[in-house]
Amino acid sequence: MAQMKRYATNEAEKQLAIIETKVAKGEISLTEARDECIKSTVNWGLIGFSTIDELEEYLCTETAFKTIQ
């Protein structure tokens, strides 16, 4: 069971990194990123996001920070 949870957590982290990179590069908007997150089968709760709003806020903050650098 621990292996499955670890796998699911890794998948969530990978998916988040992919979406985050797309937003930072300007390939997709934050709205499109939010839609991708909603459509995804990933369990975002495994990496600390209780709601989609928390995930959207994270994407806004992180992508803004990365584009400033």
- Does residue 32 register a pLDDT over 80? yes
What mean pLDDT do residues 31-58 have?
93
Q: Can you give the residue range of the structural domain that contains 18?
A: 2-68
Count: domains in the chain: 1
The whole-number pLDDT of residue 28 equals 92
- Does residue 68 register a pLDDT over 80? no
HSE (side-chain half, CA atoms, 13 Å) at 42: 29
Percent of the chain with pLDDT over 70: 91
The whole-number pLDDT of residue 67 equals 54
Q: CA 29 to CA 7: how far, in whole Å? A: 28
pTM: 0.84
- Does residue 6 register a pLDDT over 60? yes
